[in-house]
Amino acid sequence: MSNREYDYLFKLVIIGNSGVGKSALLLRFADDTFSENYITTIGVDFRFKSLKVDNKGLKLQIWDTAGQERFRTITNAYYKGADAIVIVYDTTCQQSFDDIEKFWLNEIESYAEKNAELLLLGNKSDLNAKQVQSERVQEYAQKRNMVFFETSAKTADGVEEAFKKIAIKLMAKRDQLVQDKKNKRKQQRQSSTSSQRTEESLTTSDRKQEDEQKNVNLWSAKSTEKEQETQQCQC
């Protein structure tokens, strides 16, 4: 690791209908706690979570947004600068999944960064009254280029694994971006060096041609002088 306490800093925003368990997931992942009684989030809340992956330090800034419509004008501002959007639905509520396509993806397209990664979480997987089938969601996630996990904030199943998965993807994306910038700078330096060499080569060629022309002029002048001397001798 570098002198800082982390090598990567990523911003994540959690969205989804009210009551799907967004706050429970955040507290389970960030603090490893769970409560049956949660107060509905008003506006936004956030937590920091530090972890280590492949000997690299990661710091995640995770924002939990209110699902109620009356708070959406407030929460929309928090999409800006997010590296990943975490979309949560309730596996026991079909409506919460249907609203992803009907509403939440439009919010993402309108307010989130164009290259933000998407993590889709089906929460409350510990409950038996399942309404949303895993196979259907898996196909949907693949079409939408989302990372998909079923999770339970109550039992902690899949929670840490899901956030680590998206963090690893963000790390790889950041590393590739850095490498692309290095390659671009390298190409620019090579192009600049090549142009300089071409210019130097042309300058050398010009000098050579100039010297050759001087030699021709000198030879021509000497020939003229010799002819004049010959003519004078004949006289």
User: pLDDT per residue over 72-90, tens digit each?
Assistant: 555 678 899 999 999 999 9
φ, ψ of residue 113 in degrees (nearest 5): -65, 145
The set of residues, in sequence order, having a beta carbon less than 8 Å from that of 32 and lying 6+ positions away, is 156
Residue 210: what pLDDT? 66
Confirm if 24 and 123 have CB atoms less than 8 A apart: yes
Report how far Cα 221 is from the mean position of its chain's Cα atoms.
72
In this structure, which amino acid lies at residue 218? L
**CATH number, domain at 144?**
3.40.50.300
Q: Is residue 221 part of a domain?
A: no
Q: What is the pLDDT of residue 128?
A: 92
Q: Would you state the pLDDT for residue 74?
A: 59
Taking the whole predicted model, whether its pTM rises above 0.95 is answered as no
Residue 139 is part of which domain span?
A: 8-182
Output the pLDDT for position 206. 65
In a domain? residue 213: no
Residue 225 covered by a domain: no
Spatial CA neighbour of 122 closest among 136, 107, 111: 136
* Residue 117 and residue 170 in contact, taking contact as beta carbons nearer than 8 Å: yes
Pairing verdict, β 56-65 and 8-15:
parallel
Q: How far apart are CA 147 and CA 58, in angstroms?
A: 19
Joined tokens for residue 115: 């290259």
Q: With respect to residue 222, please indicate whether it lies within any of the assigned structural domains.
A: no
In a domain, 166, yes or no: yes
Number of domains in the chain: 1
Which stretches of the chain drop beneath a pLDDT of 50? 1-2, 42, 70-71, 233, 235
The pLDDT assigned to 235 comes to 43
Kind plus residue range of the DSSP H or E element containing 136: helix 134-143
- What pLDDT score does 218 carry? 61
How many other C-beta atoms lie within 10 A of the C-beta of residue 144?
A: 14
Res 216: pLDDT? 61
Question: Does residue 215 fall inside a structural domain?
Answer: no
Report if residue 68 sits inside a domain: yes
User: Is 208 a domain residue?
Assistant: no
DSSP 19-34: TSSHHHHHHHHHH---
